[in-house]
């Protein structure tokens, strides 16, 4: 299987980066090929430019080579794994911007010319995985709707089709978690990635 890990955290010594490494380890243990998109390390620009906005409805909506590289990758993987901290009840801006600039017509979805309806563009993706940390406890996260999870597990799922398998791993109340709790969560993430088939 071919997997893409999309990582959104600015610090290389962060827990998110440690989780990414554990996920990569698990995928490689299972014999899967892994490509990593480290958005901050790549210098990915979150904001869609005016030129991109104008190109969006056309035949060539992608103007940036970095965006094109991500689009080419996601169109050819079997698994998409997102690793990020939940900030302000949602995705970090850089990850939201990546979705807006990469999941354009022809990538995230297509239009059926006959009916005019939107169709999934990433039917190649068989596994959709989210791994996130939260400052708040799970009860509070539920109250504010866990917007990042909803974006990945519901909105992006529609781009993959209903046959896609979903997994979510959330570490809640990380600010008051213990070293042991963080280590256990990281181990669960790695173990879960070894089980992807």
36-67 pLDDT per residue, tens: 999 999 999 999 999 999 999 999 999 999 99
Q: What is the pLDDT of residue 13?
A: 97
Residue 196: Cβ-neighbour burial (10 angstroms; 0-12, 13-18, 19+): buried
Cα-based torsion angle of the residue sequence 188, 190, 192, 197 in order, rounded to the nearest 10 degrees: -170
106-116 pLDDT per residue, tens: 999 998 888 88
Q: What is the pLDDT of residue 162?
A: 85
Once rounded to an integer, what is the mean pLDDT over residues 90-118?
A: 94
Chain position carrying tokens 């989780």: 19
CA dist 110 and 119 (Å) reads 5
Once rounded to an integer, what is the mean pLDDT over residues 157-162?
A: 92
């Amino acid at each position: 299987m071919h997997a893409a890990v999309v990582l959104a955290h600015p610090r290389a010594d962060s827990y998110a980066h440690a989780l990414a490494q554990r996920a990569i380890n698990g995928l490689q243990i299972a014999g899967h090929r892994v490509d990593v998109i480290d958005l901050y390390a790549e210098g990915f620009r979150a904001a869609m430019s005016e030129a991109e906005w104008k190109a969006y409805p056309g035949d060539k909506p992608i103007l940036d080579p970095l965006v094109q590289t991500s689009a080419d990758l996601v169109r050819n993987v079997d698994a998409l794994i997102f690793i990020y901290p939940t900030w302000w009840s949602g995705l970090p801006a850089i990850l939201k911007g990546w979705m807006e600039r990469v999941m354009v017509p022809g990538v995230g979805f297509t239009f059926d010319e006959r009916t005019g309806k939107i169709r999934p563009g990433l039917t190649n993706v068989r596994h959709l995985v989210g791994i996130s940390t939260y400052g708040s406890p799970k009860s509070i996260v539920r109250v504010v709707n866990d917007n990042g999870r909803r974006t990945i597990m519901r909105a992006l799922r529609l781009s993959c089709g209903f046959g896609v398998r979903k997994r979510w791993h959330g570490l809640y109340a990380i600010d008051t978690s213990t070293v042991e709790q963080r280590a256990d969560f990281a181990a669960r993430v790695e173990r879960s990635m070894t089980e992807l088939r």
